[in-house]
């Protein structure tokens, strides 16, 4: 399979270079594209000085448009699969070959690296409660159990590359995962572990977690009704 890792990056100067280095050394057979989403720090300079394969957007446009740019690149260059890979060092590239294997064997449209599938880790706190609610809503609206619906390490099939590259309303978010589970091919998970963020600051403080979870739950319900 011809696989592209799309690495959206916003203000990730602290860990971008190490993240890409680890990705390349672990999975030298796959390509990658860093999408610098209008960072205000030295992310763009790091891409240039380190000779990383990437593109810099002039302003911050958000995860969705940055990821969709990567999907358009993948479609144009005829990749078979895309793996969404965080720039903050949380994702472990050693899971990518297994994800590709499962994508092919199960004829799946999405493979998610789940932190909770094997039961050794449990979602906790406000974010954990919201995640459990999202899992329940996806189960009720699609019949599919997804233990880590907010997990950001996902592999997408060629059909999903086409969908994300051409559809204006698809985002790399749980509501779109629910839609795909209901209307397209299988969405499956593999057990995985994640590291803590290796540098920088997360967007998800308590206020933003609550907003995100509420917005996501509403989106899952509304797209079930309207779509």
The CATH classification of domain 3-226, taken from the options 3.40.50.300, 3.40.50.150, 3.40.50.10300, 3.90.550.10: 3.90.550.10
What is the model's pLDDT at position 200?
62
Decide the pairing of beta strands 110-114 and 154-156. Answer: antiparallel
Query: pTM to 2 decimals?
Result: 0.92
Listed by start position, the domains of the chain span: 3-226
Contact 15, 200 (CB under 8 A): yes
Choose between 49 and 204: higher pLDDT: 49
Average pLDDT, the chain: 92
Q: What is the pLDDT of residue 124?
A: 80
pLDDT at 223: 81
Determine the Cα–Cα distance for residues 18 and 86; give it in Å rounded to an integer. 12
Instruction: Give pLDDT tens digits for 25-48.
Output: 999 999 999 999 999 999 999 999
Question: What's the pLDDT tens digit per position in 134-164?
Answer: 999 999 999 999 999 999 999 999 999 999 9
What CA–CA distance (Å, rounded) separates 134 from 119? 17
Higher pLDDT, 99 or 198: 99
Torsion, Cα 152 225 117 110, to 10 degrees, reads -50
Q: How large is the average pLDDT for residues 13-36?
A: 97
């Amino acid at each position: 399979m011809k696989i592209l890792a799309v690495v959206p990056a916003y203000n990730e100067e602290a860990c971008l270079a190490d993240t890409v280095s680890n990705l390349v050394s672990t999975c030298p057979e796959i390509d990658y594209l860093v999408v610098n989403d209008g960072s205000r720090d030295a992310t763009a300079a790091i891409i240039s000085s380190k000779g990383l394969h990437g593109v810099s957007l002039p302003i911050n446009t958000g995860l969705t448009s940055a990821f969709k740019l990567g999907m358009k690149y993948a479609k144009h260059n005829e990749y078979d699969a895309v793996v969404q890979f965080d720039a903050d060092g949380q994702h472990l590239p050693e899971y990518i070959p297994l994800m590709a294997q499962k994508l092919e064997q199960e004829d799946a449209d999405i493979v998610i690296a789940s932190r909770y599938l094997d039961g050794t880790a449990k979602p906790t706190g406000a974010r954990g409660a919201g995640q459990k609610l999202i899992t329940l809503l996806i189960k009720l609206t699609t019949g599919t159990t997804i233990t880590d619906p907010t997990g950001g390490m996902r592999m997408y099939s060629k059909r999903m590359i086409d969908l994300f590259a051409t559809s204006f309303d698809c985002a790399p978010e749980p509501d779109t995962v629910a839609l795909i589970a209901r209307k397209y091919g299988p969405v499956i998970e593999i057990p995985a572990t994640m590291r803590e963020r290796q540098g920088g600051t997360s967007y998800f403080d308590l206020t933003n977690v609550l907003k995100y979870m509420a917005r996501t739950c509403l989106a899952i319900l509304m797209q079930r009704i309207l779509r």
